[in-house]
Amino acid sequence: MIEDWLTGDQSDLAPIDLDVLGAIYLLNKKKGYATLSAIRGRRGLSSTSLKAFLADLETRRNLVCLRRLEKNQYPLPYKPPMSYSLTKNAITMFLGSSPMSNAGDLHHAMEVEIFHEALKTKPPVLYLSIAQQPGQNRCDGILVERVDNKVFKWNEIVAVNIETPDEVRAHSSTTKGKEGQVFLNMITPFQHGAKELAVFCLKESEGKLQKLRKALPFPLSRRIYVSVVTVP
């Protein structure tokens, strides 16, 4: 099952973790810093409860770090405040590690955009990268909605495949016995318990992937969604 592919940090995540970590990520991406007041404004937590929660994320779980901003990093004419950011451990938990090849860099850039857009939904949707293992055909990641503010819908995981243009061009055969990996990637997530499958691609690959989806039996194809990602 897909849940078996998660790390301990990933499976321990709760919606409140995503809300706070997501706010820190988005604030840093937009402003370059994430102060306590800005995080509280985004998530509606009291200052006392948020401080305690952030302290736990920093000291026990190693998911956030704290630093004092420099004067040139803060626009207001006051003493620069402390700012939170995600640690390397947190980024790896959400997004894995970026491969070094050019194709790998594009794949990772697409994954970052998926993660970013998932965080911007209301409430935020959890995106997690799945660590790949030799000899196993795993999906690239998962999307998970929440039951409430305490529990994710782990029994309704949406698998995610990320297909670059080179992958789509080279591995899309539907010939029986010679099926390409991109085509097989549309089938195997359901063998591991996925409720649905979201296939993300660049605009140039959308038409080809839609054809592959429609080549599958309807009970399967209706559970697959092809979505275009725009990479900056």
Q: For residue 145, which phi and psi values (nearest 5 degrees)? A: -85, 175
Q: pLDDT tens for residues 99-135?
A: 444 455 899 999 999 999 999 999 999 999 999 988 8
| Whole-number pLDDT of residue 48 | 84
| Whole-number pLDDT of residue 73 | 85
Asked if 162 and 202 touch (Cβ cutoff 8 Å), the reply is no
Q: pLDDT tens for residues 2-29?
A: 999 999 999 999 999 999 999 999 999 9
Least confident of 37-41, 161-165, 197-201: 37-41
| Whole-number pLDDT of residue 98 | 57
Give the list of residues 6+ apart from residue 172 with CB closer than 8 angstroms, or none. Answer: 180, 182, 183, 208, 212
Give the list of residues 6+ apart from residue 9 with CB closer than 8 angstroms, or none. Answer: 61, 63, 89, 93
